[in-house]
Amino acid sequence: MKSMHVKIFYDGGHIPSDRFESIISNLEHKINTWLEENPDIEIINILQSESQGAENAWNLTMTVFYRQ
């Protein structure tokens, strides 16, 4: 079975790009590392949400539903 990887795409029109790109890269790395460490899981669904707080503080969440 081929391994699964996650790539997050976004349209960063008004987003402070350097900071948000760092958040995206870090999250992709965390998810891909977790997927590599758990090759026998069955991914059921992946959901994403984001929010912006005060002073350009970003919260980006990925939820992975899986069977083990």
Chain segment 25-62, per-residue pLDDT in tens: 888 899 899 989 998 888 898 888 877 766 666 677 88
Domain boundaries, the chain: 17-67
Query: Coil, strand, or helix at residue 21?
Result: helix
Q: How confident is the model at residue 17 (pLDDT cuts 50, 70, 90)?
A: low
Query: Coil, strand, or helix at residue 45?
Result: strand
Q: Which residue type occupies 62?
A: M
Residue 10 has pLDDT above 60, yes or no: yes
Query: Coil, strand, or helix at residue 6?
Result: coil
The reported pLDDT for the residue numbered 37 is 92
**Other residues' Cβ atoms within 10 Å of the Cβ of residue 57:** 9
More confident residue, 25 or 10: 25
Whole-model pTM: value is 0.70
